[in-house]
Chains A and B, each alone.
Chain A
């Protein structure tokens, strides 16, 4: 019945568009590491704009600690990708956590051919998280530690808090 559900189908539009984009990058770059980097950069650009859309749509309120931030990231995955990832594996210091997806909608129709095993297909997501957090004064690092396309039984992104960014005041305006 999925084919008759227009919502589901427009989700597929984005999945397929993203697939065509990744295919184009693989054609343009010889090295998969460059593709991974480019995907991250695109995600970063998207994240910087997406955060504004997210604040407007979801009106999520202020975050008081990283756990709040993690909840908001979970909420954003639900809003934009239609999946509810779980948040967990907190580091003892509380500065690092995992976003775990049972199914990854970005990779729904994807199989990695053998010569692309180094490709982090959904790497755009790590960039989106980094870009979005940076716009709310949080510097974070994000990277994949498990990927269903590589045979893991779930997809897991690790997010690490680096530092709070202070508003930079342009020289001469203080």
Chain B
């Protein structure tokens, strides 16, 4: 079954939908819609994925779950590198992020790349919210198709 292609197509249409209307669309509003769709998807998805697994022992354990199992399910590969300052900031490096591989490498379309990361930021935030971690997720691209996601856990 070729369901990963279907996900890619739906995602592309979601991105093009929120930006339809061209110049008039506010970038912030469009990105926030994508983020919201990602959140709703991640929140529900993780509930189904983790139904049979045991409790994660700590925050780092949850992050490892995101980097390995979740990433493989959604993006067909693991996160290449996970770094943390042990104070609630986690940085996930993906050297070949699936949703960016449809775009040309290099700098030409760099300015459009964040549009293709917003859904995933929401997805990660939704997954973590359902696992009991409240956080802010942001993403950054320096060189297509590599990118990094930063998770800042909110405490208190």
Closest B residue, CB atoms, query A47? B9
Cα A93 to Cα B41 in complex, Å, equals 44
Cα A173 to Cα B72 in complex, Å, equals 49
Q: Taking the nearest CB of chain B, how far is it from the CB of A16, in angstroms?
A: 5
* Most chain A beta-carbon neighbours within 10 Å: one of B2, B14, B18, B74: B2
What 1/0 flags go to A93-110 for Cβ under 8 Å of B?
A: 000000000000000010
Q: Is B142 an interface residue (CB 8 A)?
A: no
Q: Taking the nearest CB of chain B, how far is it from the CB of A69, in angstroms?
A: 19
Q: How large is the interface on B (under 10, 10 to 19, 20 to 34, 35 or more residues)?
A: 20 to 34
Of the listed stretches B44-52, B80-88, B104-112, chain A binds B44-52
Give residues 1-46 of A contacting B (CB, 8 Å): 3-4, 6-7, 9-14, 16-21, 23-25, 38, 42, 45-46
Q: Taking the nearest CB of chain B, how far is it from the CB of A2, in angstroms?
A: 9
Q: A45-B16, A79-B1, A80-B2 are in contact. Are A16 and B52 (CB under 8 A)?
A: no
Pairwise interchain contact A23-B5, C-beta atoms closer than 8 A: no
Pairwise interchain contact A45-B10, C-beta atoms closer than 8 A: no
Residues of A with C-beta under 8 A to B4 = 10
Q: Is A62 an interface residue (CB 8 A)?
A: no
Residues of B with C-beta under 8 A to A21 = 10, 13-14, 17, 37
Q: Is B26 an interface residue (CB 8 A)?
A: no
Which of A's residues lie within 8 Å of B, judged by CB?
A: 3-4, 6-7, 9-14, 16-21, 23-25, 38, 42, 45-46, 49-50, 53, 57, 78-82, 109
Q: Can you list 22 contacts pairing A with B, beta carbon distance less than 8 Å?
A: A3-B52, A9-B45, A10-B73, A11-B1, A13-B7, A14-B7, A17-B11, A17-B14, A19-B44, A20-B40, A21-B14, A21-B17, A23-B40, A38-B17, A45-B16, A46-B9, A49-B9, A50-B5, A79-B1, A79-B2, A80-B1, A82-B1
Which of B's residues lie within 8 Å of A, judged by CB?
A: 1-7, 9-14, 16-18, 33, 36-38, 40-41, 44-45, 48-49, 51-52, 72-74
